DNA sequence: GCAGGGACTTGATCTGGATCAACTCTCGCC
DNA sequence: GGCGAGAGTTGATCCAGATCAAGTCCCTGC
């Protein structure tokens, strides 16, 4: 593991409050690994042997069933994923693959389970992390059930703008095909709907989003704190929305 | 609170392992209340002041947005709900209403937060509960994104049969309109699809489900441990599927 | 017992979004 | 520098599921 990485992990909400001795014990069994883009890190159904911490790159969490596949989340540095499965010592519910060349720290889940049993501060951090993840998926499910495709796209674009600091223009953080899958629609549908959204105050130029009329877009998206956040409870983990890459 | 209720709560996985003194402290601030059917217990966005424990009756958790509404879960005795919001001291993401006359214990969430900070066993229980809830919603989201209406119905019916002990015949635990909403479709669509499912090995007689050809139904539903369970990690809480009422 | 209302069903129609197919553009790679 | 391969777009068509509208049945409350 690289020297700068340890403090970065230590500063994550999940590891911030635990005893130094326990942190060190946890990191003792950890190891870092580099992966090329497009590599499958785990397959749904596998036993949860390691908590994963993304230090560089990006990881897609996705699910499959009966030949179909869908994106559930994208995790970027510094973020953890698959905490719940590690804790329950249960099979992963999702598969994971790298979207880019990535550096990932692997923490044996047995160590994890041992440590929060003797470090209450860490246990409390885990509680907060999991509660955040839970609420994040609930938001996602609400969006899927209550909103149409069009509304999901509009609110996604607004949400990303908010994450970028309410910029009117920013870059999409993920490929459109992945975004479509995350939002529960086909790439064709996303592409077409984006075109028609020009009448509602937002335009796309390649990967660049330009909000031309925020009021109009908001009227369509009806952003809702209980679906779109802002989560004061932002999870660093598994259930996070694809995050913005930075805008200008 | 009634004499038999305290031990019932104590035996819940969530409260089973904590110190007796802490359990008593927690219960000190608790109070029971009876509600008629159809009463709104909380509204999404409200501050999370109480953890709710259903002792009798049934509670529907649902979400709404822009005039639409959908069922997210049904909680039956003995089960808790809205743990995550209590822990984060954040607004509820869902509303709740009684489906029948219900008896509910209310636990001040501030007490809850205080207790798991000083009782590691309780903290561990909370961790397991939340991890279970998280995984449960992930399963639900996977079903919504990966399966068609028809497949969701078929797998729901199989899952309920499994919960009833693999009985070929059992009663639906909830109204069909609620089930439709839970499964993300309209009542009309549910009704029609149920009819066409007779060709796939399952028949409905009113509220009675009769599986006539389990193999055929399974071929359609393709039940998957990573979507349908069985959850060894069964949550007692918020995210549970409408449970079966008992079969014969 | 009777009236009223809600759950459920059934039918007719509409439409959002999927599917299938073709074509362009870009970018990494030989 | 040319050549795939994959991302994205666009068009044509199809279909699952929503919507609108009746009508039946059952249960409840007067």
> What is the CA B224 to C1' C18 distance in angstroms?
24
Number of DSSP helices (H) and strands (E) in chain B, helices first: 11, 11
Alpha-helical (H) ranges within B66-148 are: 83-88, 109-118, 120-146
Mean pLDDT of A207-230: 95
B150 touches strand D (CB under 7 A): yes
At A65, the pLDDT band (50, 70, 90 cuts) reads very high
**Chain B positions in Cβ-Cβ contact with residue A141 (cut-off 8 Å):** 72, 137, 140-141, 144
Closest Cα to residue A58, out of A39, A74, A80?
A74
HSE-CB at B215 with a 13 A cutoff on CA atoms is 0
B151-160 pLDDT, tens digit per residue, is 999 999 999 9
Find and list the nucleotides of strand D having atoms within 7 Å of a protein beta carbon.
Answer: 7-12, 16-21
Task: Tell me the nt nearest to B177, Cα to C1'.
Answer: C7
Closest Cα to residue A233, out of B134, B144, B125, B51?
B134
The secondary element (H helix, E strand) that includes residue A50 is strand A50-56
Q: How far apart are the first and last CA of chain B?
A: 33
Cβ under 8 Å to A: B residues 202-221: none
| Dihedral, CA of residue A116, residue B106, residue A228 and residue B147, to nearest 10 | 80
CATH class label, B5-118: mainly beta
Whether the bond between A176 and the residue before it is cis, its omega within 30 degrees of 0, is no
What's the length of chain B? 248
Cβ under 8 Å to B: A residues 128-147: 128, 130-135, 137-142, 144-147
Closest Cα to residue B73, out of B224, B219, B184, B204?
B184
Cβ of B226 and A44 within 8 Å? yes
Rounded to the nearest 5°, which phi and psi values hold at A65? -165, 130
Q: How far apart are CA B38 and CA B99, in angstroms?
A: 5
Domain ranges across chain B:
5-118, 147-228
Res. A236: pLDDT tops 60: no
Nearest to A137 among B45, B65, B137 (CB): B137
CATH placement of domain B147-228: 1.10.10.10
> What is the CA A216 to C1' C19 distance in angstroms?
32
Find and give the residue nearest to C18, measured CA to C1'. A186
Mean pLDDT of B101-123: 95
% of chain B exceeding 70 in pLDDT: 93
Number of Cβ within 10 Å of residue B127's Cβ equals 25
HSE-CB at A110 with a 13 A cutoff on CA atoms is 3
Cβ atoms of B122 and B17 within 8 Å: the answer is: yes
Nearest to B65 among A88, A116, A227 (CB): A227
The Cα of B19 is separated from the nearest Cα of chain A by a number of Å equal to 15
SS3 content of chain A, % helix, strand, coil (to 5): 45, 25, 30
The Cα of B146 is separated from the nearest Cα of chain A by a number of Å equal to 6
Where is average pLDDT lowest: A128-142, B84-98, B127-141, B234-248? Answer: B234-248
A16-53 pLDDT, tens digit per residue, is 999 999 999 999 999 999 999 999 999 999 999 999 99
């Amino acid at each position: 593991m690289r020297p700068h990485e340890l403090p970065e992990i230590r500063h994550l909400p999940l590891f911030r409050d635990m005893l130094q001795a326990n942190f060190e014990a946890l990191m003792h069994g950890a190891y870092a690994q580099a992966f090329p883009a497009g590599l499958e890190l785990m397959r749904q159904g596998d036993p949860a042997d390691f908590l994963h911490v993304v230090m560089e790159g990006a990881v897609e969490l996705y699910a499959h069933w009966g030949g179909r596949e869908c994106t559930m989340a994208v995790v970027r540095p510094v973020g953890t994923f698959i905490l719940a499965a590690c804790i329950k010592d249960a099979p992963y519910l999702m598969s994971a693959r790298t979207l880019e060349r990535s550096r990932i720290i692997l923490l044996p889940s047995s160590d994890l389970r041992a440590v929060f049993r003797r470090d209450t501060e860490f246990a409390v951090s885990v509680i907060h992390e999991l509660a955040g993840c839970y609420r994040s998926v609930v938001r996602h499910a609400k969006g899927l059930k209550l909103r149409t495709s069009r509304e999901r796209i509009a609110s996604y674009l607004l949400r990303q703008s908010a994450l970028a600091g309410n910029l009117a223009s920013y870059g999409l953080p993920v490929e459109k095909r992945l975004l479509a899958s995350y939002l529960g629609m086909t790439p064709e549908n996303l592409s077409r709907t984006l075109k028609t959204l020009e009448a509602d105050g937002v335009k796309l130029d390649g990967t660049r989003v330009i909000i031309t009329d925020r009021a109009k877009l908001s009227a369509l998206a009806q952003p809702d704190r209980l679906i779109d956040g802002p989560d004061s409870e932002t999870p660093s983990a598994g259930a996070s929305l694809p995050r913005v890459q930075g805008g200008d």
